[in-house]
């Protein structure tokens, strides 16, 4: 029986994670995020080339968020 994981995120993100991890059954309540749909590859490229966008995160919050992302990435291992 595969491991079961509740993955609460935007729909396409949940599908991407599921396609990368074998042996895990993801329970995905699909939440559409209208803001995620505004992000496109050309906009990302422009932002990186022009360095026009800056996001500032409180270091204490960033540390906890980084840990959560690292745990998600490590589901493959």
Q: Collapsing DSSP states into helix, strand and coil, what is residue 31? A: strand
pLDDT of residue 1: 74
Question: Residues 11-60: pLDDT tens digits?
Answer: 777 777 777 888 888 887 776 777 777 888 888 889 889 988 888 889 98
Q: Collapsing DSSP states into helix, strand and coil, what is residue 61? A: helix
Task: Report pTM.
Answer: 0.39
**CA-to-CA distance for 11 and 56, rounded, in angstroms?**
26
Structure tokens at 3: 């491991």
């Amino acid at each position: 029986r595969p491991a079961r994981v509740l993955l609460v995120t935007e729909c396409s993100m949940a599908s991407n994670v599921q396609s990368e991890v074998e042996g895990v059954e993801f329970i995905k309540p699909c939440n559409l995020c209208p803001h995620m749909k505004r992000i496109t590859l050309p906009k990302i490229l422009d932002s990186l080339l022009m360095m026009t966008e800056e996001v500032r995160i409180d270091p204490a919050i960033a540390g906890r968020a980084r840990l959560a992302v690292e745990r998600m990435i490590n589901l493959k291992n």
